[in-house]
Amino acid sequence: MIHSLLDTDLYKFTMGQVFFKKYRDIDAAYSFICRNKDVNLSFLKQQIEEEVIRLSKLKMSKDELDYLKSLVFFEDDYLNYLKEFKLNSNNVDIRIENEQLHIRVEGKMVDVSPWEIYLLSTINELYFKKTNSNLDFSLGRARLQEKIELIKNQDKNFKFMEFGTRRRFSQEWQEEVTKTLKEKVPEYLIGTSNVLLAKKLGIKPVGTLAHEYLQSFQSLAPELEHFQKTALQTWQDVYKNKLLIALTDVITTDAFLIDFDEQLSHDFQGLRHDSGDPIVFGEKVLAHYTKHTIDAKNKTLVFSDGLDFIKSFKIFNHFKEQTNMVFGIGTNLTNDLGPKSLNIVIKMVSCNKMAVAKISDEPSKAICEDPDFLKKLKTMFGVNQ
């Protein structure tokens, strides 16, 4: 299923470089969650275990390392680490509890963080092979063509990225979709989060940081109250003026903007939305830029929360005179063939032996294993969810 360690999202490597350089010996734990209440994945346990063993045998080839080096922002010490890197199956605990599939990944943060995308895409593909083994792709191709026609009728300034690795129907289908988009609407498609597809198809790989990066600083920052500021400053220390798109909703966007001070607001290229009302988010960010006398037309807002093209066009038309935008579209591209898609995640739940949390702008997305720590965060940041 996965035959290359590049078959993952770029931000796993960009975050990995920071973890490697700054926090090489820090431990972390990640937990699997299936949000589909009507789906029981326990029947996949044995096959997932077999895939985990197979994944642990993969290594980077010279050609793959040369490609990562060509991206400019990866440094030699991290590339040398990747040269010897192998996933360790002993870091992954798969079991059945209360008749449900449970997966926990624990170990050194830099070593275990990559498991997230490999596991999620593997579970998706195993599930759909089991439940839809004879699926005719004609409906998916027809739906993709409809999307392409919609895109062609849009303003030429509308831009989007393929973000569908973790919830794809299969690797084969993701590649077909991305290749078709490159051929049919190259002026609208600006990249893919999947590093392997970027390499194979000659498309820009895109991505910066995810929730886990900010979550980790809840234990790593000297002051919990300003952990997000510390996280962003640490990112800048590694990447200087590159890859400066920040995610806003690990606590809430309101809490994020308090730490996103005038200097950071000027320095960072833009912000990414991943939960809550996108229009409300955009208005808050534009007001924030105005407060700091920053021209939002020089910034970029990235929207990536469960989008399809109709939703994306609505957001684009609302803000197109005020700022730059890019849309990350995932499941609607890589798993829109008829069967209901899975809503599965693997999230960091501890770092440096301490609980961490994701609260989000959408209450149903909140994740934390320590109720006391969650309460402390909500009190500290004035969250009333």
Whole-angstrom distance, CA of residue 308 vs CA of residue 318: 16
pLDDT digits (tens, 9 = 90+) for 125-173: 999 999 998 899 999 999 999 999 999 999 999 999 999 999 999 999 9
Whole-angstrom distance, CA of residue 234 vs CA of residue 252: 20
pLDDT digits (tens, 9 = 90+) for 17-44: 999 999 999 999 999 999 999 999 999 9
Residue of 325, 303, 350, 306 whose CA lies nearest to 166: 306
Residue 34 DSSP SS3: strand
Name the packing angle between helices 115-131 and 45-55 (round to 10°). Answer: 140
Whole-angstrom distance, CA of residue 234 vs CA of residue 264: 12
Cβ proximity of 59 and 384 under 8 Å? no
CA 176 from chain centre, in angstroms, equals 21
pLDDT at position 1, please?
85
Cβ proximity of 226 and 220 under 8 Å? no
Residues 6+ apart with CB under 8 A from 350: 27, 28, 29, 219, 356, 369
pLDDT per residue rounded down to tens, the chain (385 residues): 899 999 999 999 999 999 999 999 999 999 999 999 999 999 999 999 999 999 999 999 999 999 999 999 999 999 999 999 999 999 999 999 999 999 999 999 999 999 999 999 999 999 999 999 889 999 999 999 999 999 999 999 999 999 999 999 999 999 999 999 999 999 999 999 999 999 999 999 999 999 999 999 999 999 999 999 999 999 999 999 999 999 999 999 999 999 999 999 999 999 999 999 999 999 999 999 999 999 999 999 999 999 999 999 999 999 999 999 999 999 999 999 999 999 999 999 999 999 999 999 988 788 999 999 999 999 999 998 7
Cβ proximity of 237 and 212 under 8 Å? no
Half-sphere exposure of residue 246: CA atoms within 13 angstroms, side-chain side: 31
Query: Which residues face 33 on adjacent strands?
Result: 345
pLDDT at position 164, please?
98
Per-residue DSSP letters for 311-371? HHHHHHHHHTTTSEEEEEE-HHHHS-SSSPPP-EEEEEEEETTEE--B--SSGGG-B-S-H
Residue of 173, 104, 180 whose CA lies nearest to 147: 180
- CATH numbers and ranges of domains, the chain: 10-133+343-355 (3.20.140.10), 138-334 (3.20.140.10)
